[in-house]
């Protein structure tokens, strides 16, 4: 020990994939199945849902009863990570805000995600309002890849023909829970459409999907699925790719930079083993970054050489720029109609049972684009804090005898109150389009490094009026749905002082845009294939290439685009060999 030494491997891989989430997983899967010799580097440990998921555990098996002390989404959640990681800081410029969620594990954030799987529509790729730039590709070009992702991974939903909300190849959706029936009825009265949900959960078996079990309705997708009944990159992509014998995973491998030669082409990457702190360099003919939008940007910006003085692939100066998350705001309350409700197993699936696609005409509104609404309700598994709202709600509605008691209480009556109110809560959350702006970005903090000595990211992100107006519209909509369904609102009233409950950027964990694609190398980082304009054997397959996301959660589009990029790489190889 003591000497700084880099271990260099003599092997030259056909491709090195950095990251094992949706983007990296899909690229690795396609390339390994095509016979390429692929090395995948993952910053966290190997993780197999079959063994490591905390699915079907009871609340008492957690000493903190599921509280989110070490895992922000609760003690049973499947993400190793959070918005803050020990020894891996990031900074924000004063007066701006960004929260960066990272999961360090095989499969990354796909192990715990909400499985809500929406395609971006024709207007998302080619906007008709002229407010954001067009993608260099259209929905029609991506559609065949969406179709293949649907069949390969499995998704439930219903064919609706709804504008700019393309249908897919769907399995049957789960039926609504009782609270969701009330929500659907209230929403309809409020003029808000409600559709069955769309989620990456196997509600049916399929001859095209091997080695994965069918959903048995525990409602715990967030804990990852031991029978691989939902989509995690670990179980559905990386492990099957490993089985081909063509893909090797090195875990606990934190990538420092992309290595390049004098001509500026990528020759491999360097990484540090997070356990032993040994430094390594590995060589590959192609380097594919799927480390997450901000992490891939960080790697590129940290990969400086004489050929790439501003970081590899960054001659445009746009790496890290156009960072955008989804907007998010929410409301919740309870339904007096659900008090003292009959008990039954209402776990359902762990993704959405119903949702509302965007329905408004923007010509009448003070903001562009829109949002969808995700709904929740149910006789949910008890967990830390799940009844905290009940004593306060007691005084808001008449009891069985018609009299309203004071809020609070204790003793036998309180026990009856907990039983009475359990399962009566309902919630809704908007997820909308935040505009991709050049002025919202991440860059390398000139003064800080993480515990591995890697320079960290510094964020500069501010919401603008468009996003705030959208959040205001969400709150008005929630209020009107709640009113129409006869719910009692418990979430606090939001106004301009709280940006109408608009979550800080990054909180929704839909960040993208940092290495956007385009036809002009001066105004984009990647071409329409996800290939760096100024480093031809470097590709990005996470949400970095997104020019502008719609209000559709990112993952399905990441999968489709990564598949498309991987097949482009195969075609380019063929051309070279042919």
Name the residue nearer to other proteins (CB basis): 195 or 293: 195
* Cβ(477)–Cβ(331) below 8 Å: no
Give me the sign of the Cα torsion angle 472, 476, 479, 481: negative
Shortest separation between residue 162's beta carbon and other proteins, angstroms: 13
Residues of span 146-175 touching other proteins by CB under 8 A: 174-175
What angle in degrees, to the nearest 10, is found between the helix axes of 555-577 and 22-33?
30
* Cβ(305)–Cβ(293) below 8 Å: no
Residues of span 316-345 touching other proteins by CB under 8 A: 337, 341-345
Measured in degrees and rounded to the nearest 5, phi and psi for residue 337 equal -65, -20
Q: Does 80 bind other proteins (CB under 8 A)?
A: yes
**Among 144-152, 300-308, 375-383, 435-443, the segment contacting other proteins (CB under 8 A):** 375-383
Name the residue nearer to other proteins (CB basis): 37 or 206: 206
Residues of span 174-233 touching other proteins by CB under 8 A: 174-178, 181-182, 184-185, 194-196, 205, 211-220, 226-227, 229
Shortest separation between residue 102's beta carbon and other proteins, angstroms: 14
Query: Which tokens hold the place of 333?
Result: 């309350």
Cα–Cα distance, 399 to 457 (Å, whole number): 54
Shortest separation between residue 158's beta carbon and other proteins, angstroms: 9
Name the residue nearer to other proteins (CB basis): 343 or 363: 343
DSSP for 85-132, please give it. -TT---EE-TT------EE-STTGGGGTS--B-----HHHHS-SSSSS
Q: Which residues contact 258 (CB under 8 A, 6 or more apart)?
A: 266, 268, 269, 287, 289, 299, 300, 303, 312, 535, 538
Name the residue nearer to other proteins (CB basis): 251 or 467: 251
Residues of span 46-75 touching other proteins by CB under 8 A: 51-54, 56-67, 69-70
Name the residue nearer to other proteins (CB basis): 411 or 496: 411
Shortest separation between residue 346's beta carbon and other proteins, angstroms: 7
Q: How many residues bind other proteins (CB under 8 A)?
A: 84
Cα–Cα distance, 368 to 436 (Å, whole number): 12
Question: Which secondary-structure segment (H or E) carries 294?
Answer: helix 293-302
Q: Does 278 bind other proteins (CB under 8 A)?
A: no
DSSP H helices, 410-554, are: 411-421, 465-485
Alpha-carbon Rg for the chain, nearest whole angstrom, is 24
How many other C-beta atoms can be found within 10 angstroms of the C-beta atom of residue 172?
A: 11
Shortest separation between residue 223's beta carbon and other proteins, angstroms: 9
Shortest separation between residue 80's beta carbon and other proteins, angstroms: 6
Shortest separation between residue 205's beta carbon and other proteins, angstroms: 5
Name the residue nearer to other proteins (CB basis): 4 or 410: 410
CA-closest candidate to residue 329, choices 169, 467, 458, 146: 467
Shortest separation between residue 224's beta carbon and other proteins, angstroms: 9
Q: Identify the residue among 21, 23, 107, 348 touching other proteins (CB under 8 A).
A: 348
Residues of span 498-557 touching other proteins by CB under 8 A: none
Q: Identify the residue among 97, 347, 450, 469 touching other proteins (CB under 8 A).
A: 347
Shortest separation between residue 352's beta carbon and other proteins, angstroms: 13
Cα–Cα distance, 196 to 175 (Å, whole number): 8
Query: Which tokens hold the place of 569?
Result: 């790489």
Site string for other proteins, 377-396 (x = CB under 8 A): --xxxxxxxxxx-xxx--x-
Name the residue nearer to other proteins (CB basis): 196 or 513: 196
Q: Which residues contact 248 (CB under 8 A, 6 or more apart)?
A: 38, 39, 40, 242
Residues of span 394-413 touching other proteins by CB under 8 A: 395, 406-412
Q: Does 346 bind other proteins (CB under 8 A)?
A: yes
Measured in degrees and rounded to the nearest 5, phi and psi for residue 575 equal -60, -45
DSSP category for residue 462: -
Shortest separation between residue 425's beta carbon and other proteins, angstroms: 13
Name the residue nearer to other proteins (CB basis): 386 or 568: 386
Site string for other proteins, 88-127 (x = CB under 8 A): ----------------------------------------
Shortest separation between residue 418's beta carbon and other proteins, angstroms: 6
Query: Which tokens hold the place of 229?
Result: 């009944």
Name the residue nearer to other proteins (CB basis): 174 or 290: 174
Cα–Cα distance, 120 to 58 (Å, whole number): 37
Give one word for 548, left, alpha or beta, with left for phi > 0 and alpha for psi -120 to 50: beta
Name the residue nearer to other proteins (CB basis): 313 or 350: 350
Cα–Cα distance, 287 to 18 (Å, whole number): 8
Residue with tokens 């606990």: 252
Name the residue nearer to other proteins (CB basis): 56 or 449: 56
Site string for other proteins, 413-452 (x = CB under 8 A): -xx--xx--x------------------------------
* Cβ(184)–Cβ(354) below 8 Å: yes
Bridge partners (DSSP) listed for residue 253? 273
Name the residue nearer to other proteins (CB basis): 54 or 289: 54
């Amino acid at each position: 020990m003591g000497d700084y030494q880099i271990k260099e491997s003599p092997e030259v891989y056909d491709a090195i994939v950095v990251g094992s989430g949706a983007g990296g997983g899909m690229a690795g899967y396609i390339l390994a199945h095509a016979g390429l010799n692929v090395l995948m580097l993952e910053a966290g440990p190997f993780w197999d849902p079959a063994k490591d998921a905390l699915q079907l555990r009871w609340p008492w098996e957690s000493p903190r009863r599921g509280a989110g002390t070490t895992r922000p989404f609760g003690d049973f959640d499947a993400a190793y990570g959070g918005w803050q990681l020990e020894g891996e800081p990031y900074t924000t410029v004063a007066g701006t805000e960004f929260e960066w969620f990272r999961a360090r594990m095989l499969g990354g954030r796909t192990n715990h995600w909400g499985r809500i799987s929406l395609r971006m529509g024709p207007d998302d790729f080619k906007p008709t309002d002229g407010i954001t730039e067009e993608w260099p590709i259209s929905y029609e070009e991506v559609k065949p890849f969406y179709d293949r992702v649907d069949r390969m991974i499995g998704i439930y939903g219903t064919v609706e023909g709804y504008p700019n909300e393309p249908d897919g190849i769907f399995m049957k959706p789960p039926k609504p829970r009782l609270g969701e029936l009330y929500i659907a009825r209230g929403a309809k009265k409020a003029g808000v459409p409600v559709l069955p949900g769309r989620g990456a959960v196997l509600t049916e078996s399929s001859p095209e999907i091997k080695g994965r079990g069918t959903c048995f309705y525990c409602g715990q997708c967030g804990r990852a699925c031991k029978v691989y009944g939902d989509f995690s990159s670990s179980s559905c992509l990386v492990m099957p790719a490993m089985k081909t014998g063509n893909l090797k995973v090195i875990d606990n491998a934190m990538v420092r930079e992309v290595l390049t030669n004098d001509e500026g082409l990528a020759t491999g990457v360097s990484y540090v083993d997070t356990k032993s702190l040994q430094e390594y360099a590995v060589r590959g003919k192609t380097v594919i970054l799927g480390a997450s939008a901000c992490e891939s940007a960080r790697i590129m910006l940290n990969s400086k050489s004489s050929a790439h003085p501003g970081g590899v692939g960054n001659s445009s100066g746009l790496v890290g720029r156009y960072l955008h998350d989804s907007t998010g705001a929410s409301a919740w309350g309870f339904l007096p109609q659900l008090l003292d409700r009959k008990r039954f197993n209402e776990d359902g699936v762990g993704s959405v049972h119903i949702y509302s696609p965007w329905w408004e005409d923007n010509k009448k509104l003070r903001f562009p684009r829109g949002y969808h609404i995700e709904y929740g309700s149910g006789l949910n598994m008890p967990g830390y804090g799940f009844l905290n709202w009940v004593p306060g709600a007691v005084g808001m509605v008449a009891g069985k005898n018609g009299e309203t008691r004071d809020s609070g209480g204790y003793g036998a009556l309180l026990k009856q109150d907990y039983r009475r109110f359990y399962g009566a809560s309902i919630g809704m959350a908007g997820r909308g389009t935040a505009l991709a702006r050049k002025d919202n970005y991440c860059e390398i903090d000139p003064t800080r490094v993480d515990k591995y000595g890697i320079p960290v990211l510094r964020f500069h992100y501010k919401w603008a009026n468009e996003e705030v107006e959208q959040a205001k519209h969400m709150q008005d909509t929630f209020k009107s749905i709640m009113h129409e369904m006869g719910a009692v609102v418990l979430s606090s009233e939001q106004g301009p002082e709280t940006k109408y409950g608009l979550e800080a950027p990054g909180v929704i964990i839909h960040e993208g845009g940092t290495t956007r694609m385009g036809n002009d190398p001066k105004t984009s980082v990647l071409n329409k294939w996800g290939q760096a304009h100024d480093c031809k054997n470097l590709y990005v397959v996470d949400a970095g290439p997104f020019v502008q996301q719609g209000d559709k959660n990112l993952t399905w589009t990441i999968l489709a685009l990564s598949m498309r990029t991987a097949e482009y790489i195969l075609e380019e190889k063929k051309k070279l060999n042919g």
